[in-house]
Amino acid sequence: MQKRQETLENFSSFQRIKKKPKSGGILEKCATSDIEASLVRLKGAAQPRISKFQVAAAIYGSEGKCYPGVNVEFNGVGLEATIHAEEFAVLAARSQLESKAEWIAVSAAPCGCKCHFFFFFFHPLHFLKATDCRQLLNEFAPSISVRVVGQPPQPLQSLLPHSFGPTDLGIGPQTLTSTTPLPPIEPLPLDVPKDIADSALSALASCYCPYTKAFSAAVLRTRSGALFVGSHIENAAFNPSIPPWKVPALPSRSSPQGAVVALMRAGEVVEDVVEAILVETAGSVSHEASFRGVVVGFAKDAAVRVLRVAVLGNNGLPPAWAQSKWFSKLLMSAERNEVDSFYSSSTATSNGAKSTAAPSNGPST
């Protein structure tokens, strides 16, 4: 309870930063001590259980609104489950439907370029390969400016030269609120509680998966009964893609916001998760293995369930049914019967109308 209260206080105090001035960027106009002191306070909400290295970040939107983030590490699971502070802030801004991320302030340089002498010697461009944070920013906010504490602001592209992004794969520039249209899917099983089903469906509609079209949503329920929902987010570079249990779903009328990021912003702790459900469409990508491993890692007593739903075709049927020869024959037979029935009823109606019509003996006088 004390940890929850401290987390809430750290987030709320950080969000009381001065509003954006009428002219110029907030990072240029606010005193350096203000931003740095705020990041120092925010670092108290970080949960680096393994490294003990606290990192804080904050994204500033077009209207000057602040979206704070901290790094989170988990015991008992792989290091790939770590949530970076910049990643946390991006996901928080996305969940609040921020239209444009202008600035990001970070207490430590965002992870990015890796330089290996061997590969550099044989392949000069290998050192430009980017990892999570800079690549994530490049997917949704390539024009963002980055300010590391104690350093002047600089454009992201100077930290990520010759970047690879959505335009390289032919889908065009994206924004923080970009989503992939969800095709019709089969209903969830009837034994899934309505609140979880509604939340999962809303989260599926919030997915950003233009590269695989594999929709995935996670629903976490804590001891307090609160639901936290997440959506899958992909990246043009593939491996910095974010699984649904990390990502807050976009707001909707039928679903709370959620996943681990929103869970922490609400002052809850991952150890209090008692139920976890993953819903995903059948496809080339599945998050089941990592989902089970991560949930069991941070909440050993949580009940885990995985549901796979089929994407319906134009005829409203699962592809397996629509592609089945016997089912196709059944459909054709049903269609023929409907056509025969239609013509039979039309002929009968026409004949009936003729039999009841009065004979015409010329114009009446």
Active-site residue numbers? Answer: 86
How far from 64 is each of 13, 24, 27, 154, 237, CA to CA, in Å?
A: 16, 11, 10, 18, 30
* Class of residue 73 by CB neighbours under 10 A (exposed 0-12, middle 13-18, buried 19+): middle
C-alpha 47/C-alpha 109 separation (Å) is 18
C-alpha 107/C-alpha 56 separation (Å) is 5
Expressed in percent and rounded to 5, the helix, strand and coil fractions of the chain are 40, 15, 45
φ/ψ of 150, rounded to 5, equals 85, 0
Residue 310: which of 191, 185, 183 has the closest Cα?
Answer: 185
